[in-house]
Structure 1
């Protein structure tokens, strides 16, 4: 599947079909991630099961500690 993630065109394996799969693929902590799918910020309660399709545009912001 081809999509744009954080402004970069990427080819993803066939097993990446949901936002949870995408976060796992990039080894991101889902508790710290905010996900925007096609210009809509996803609610954390439903985000993980959101289906991805070819051509989607995803932005992922992950909060980190520090100063």
Structure 2
């Protein structure tokens, strides 16, 4: 799966540090998700999707 997280975050004009703090993870963790070096737990993906204003399925794309 390819991550859309960075693209969606930038479209909203949000900084990594702000988003990370809102969902309760470190900025490094969010960066890892954006670079596909790690994937969020369900609870964090839910919060992330809510902040970005998209369904959870939009966080990732196939390919």
Above 0.5 in TM-score?
A: no
Report the structure number with the largest CA radius of gyration: 1
Higher relative strand content? 1
Q: TM-score, normalised by structure 1?
A: 0.34
Q: More helix per residue: 1 or 2?
A: 2
